[in-house]
Structure 1
Amino acid sequence: MLDINAIRADFPILNQKVNGKPLVYFDNAATAQKPKVVEKAIIEYYETINANIHRGVHTLSQLATDAYEESRKKIQHHVNAKSDKEIIFTAGTTFGINLVANGFSSFLKKGDEILISAMEHHSNIVPWQFACERSGASLKIIPMNEEGDLILEEFDKLINSNTKMVAVTHISNALGTVNPIKYIIDEAHKVGAAVLIDGAQATPHIKPDVQALDCDFYVFSGHKICGPTGTGILYGKEAWLDKLPPYQGGGEMIKTVTFEKTTYACLPHKFEAGTPNIAGGIVLGYAIDYLNGIGFDKIKAYEKDLLDYGTKKLLEIEGLKIYGTAKEKTSVISFNIQGLHPYDIGVIVDKLGVAVRTGHHCTQPIMDFYGIPGTVRASFSFYNTKEEIDILIEAVKKAKQMLS
């Protein structure tokens, strides 16, 4: 399905050794590795057109501005937004959610309700708690079952005319569950609620179509899709972005400033105060080009094959339990071994060159639901291989032997 050798050649970091062993990088849900085209684009920006944007008449400033806005248009087309004015550059998913939650709180009052799910990342819990504390609104939780699926019957009971916002993750970072967000969006709109989708874990695996989904907001991070850290995107319907107040004040987001009154710039600049991560924004467009060049259909099929293979092999280890067994899931496997702490397993497999994540993965309510301190999480990307999964299996078996 993919020319895996050619793809891996694009990622020099995969060729190194860790603790004397070939690196097996299975922490892709935390951050993706960067292809050479992204690394080269960062260097080229700073060596050729480094300048501040939108403010200068000189040539470098114009070149940098053109490159930055061209990247915005690439992202617009990637997510199928109606206009590039609906694409806001941010510092990441967390920033985007906070921007929306902060502004949306000004529309809330006591008696209003916000719905989130039981499997949200802390970044899609805490900002809405802030919004409720400021406004007097209530936070309601869509529960999940043992398999890691949302219980839609309970969602149907929770959604009502008091619901003003539904904020849910597209794909769980801890369980890999792909949520039925189209159903959730449609039902929320029936009662007049807005919908924000956390796409941080979805965008590495699928290509979102925000018009087909009809979501009001969609947020994601650049570093999880092979782009630079400190970059992200907030998509918002133009009507909603016009309603929201600015999140930060300063340069760029203004139209006029006097000591008596300030008026704000038009979209998208209204939400982009100060000098942005210019290089990061430009290079994010390169990362999206790279992934589209491979093809998201091919990526999805290849990663599904890795998921199936890894699931089968891990379950052959006695005492191992996988958390998150939804029918619709992506290439994330969270597991524990009976009687062993996930941290201890993670330390040992690292000594064998395998990078996995351990802990609660910023989803402490999920761990509380299962009554566990955390899990070992192996997350696969399109540049991983079944041979690497075999190395993981042997490392986990070794850890089990040493800790038992």
Structure 2
Amino acid sequence: MNGNRFGRLFQVTTYGESHGDAMGVTVSGCPAGLELDESDVQAELDRRKPGQSMITTSRGEPDAVVINSGTQDGYTTGTPIGMVIENKDARSGKYEPFVTAPRPSHGDFTYSAKFGTRNWGGGGRSSARETLNWVAAGAVAKKILEQDGIRVKAHVNQIGDIEAPPVTFEEMLEHTENNEVRCGHPQTADEMRERIDEYQKAGDSIGGSIYFEARGVPRGLGAPRFDSFPARLGQAMMAIPATTGFEFGLGSEARGWTGSDRNEDWEFDADGDPAPEGNTHGGLQGGITTGQPIYGEATWHAPTSIPKTQKTADWETGEEKEIQVVGRHDPVLPPRAVPVVEAMLNLTIVDFMLLGGRLNPDRLDDQPGEYDTDYHPSSPDNE
């Protein structure tokens, strides 16, 4: 089975199944000299782990990470970084009825049809639990980018039909981690929580979306066509389980804009370099970064594991029958997907930075840069 590696110079290779012994990731290409220990990674994993609130799965996983290679005396050595997270609370028995009777809208049948077998406990390799490996790798990328003053933040901007108003980068930093929904607008977060409760009580689930933003990314990253920055970022976002859409800049709204409305005149910036007057393009032109904030959105469908009675077809017995998916599942995905989105954006940026020679491959600068927190794509100054 292929498809277990992400990145070109900053390569992330993962292994593990939802109910296996452990999850693990190897990060290759990290420069030497980065200060890194398990607490840096654990802080990000704790944001993603189950059991955080009543709107997440009750699976009791500590998600404790162990770094077993690639560091010495608290600093990276430039060799592959190996990390492992043991599974402590797997309960596979509830999945036995679905070994040959696929759950609706899951990957049960497609995996079995392609590979002839699958690890059916908890969804095996197709489980969203595998994203904890991505978050662990993203924590390393985040540390690298912070040295260059590059910051990434995301928040839940919509759940069902409840949409948050635009918020600034500063507001995302201040509010996102202070509520269970991870919405950067506290009042909307309360409304979202109430709506999630309604679906959860009805034995159902609901979808939503996440807005993301990156500050301090230098111009000139990416290339036209298949190695464009948005093409690679789109791959990163669409790889996240249950993601159904990705867009940047105006995104789907662009179809309603005329060329004269969307096009942005050029002016000279404070350094005397040409710069677009606005940023409706989301920091990307011609597939290459402009040096302006990169922003966009990703969408998730409602979780497919719900306790409502549904119908399946057992390919072993030839029987069509009603089933009920019983277990510990999230009623909504974006709140726990926020750190995953940030991780994939961090990984994408670091990979492009290495490819563009923007990071010293032998050592890292220990002086963090600055980043702008005043920009928002909907503000009048950026229209």
- For normalisation by structure 2, the TM-score amounts to 0.23
Hey, which of these two has a bigger chunk of helix by percent? Answer: 1
- For normalisation by structure 1, the TM-score amounts to 0.22
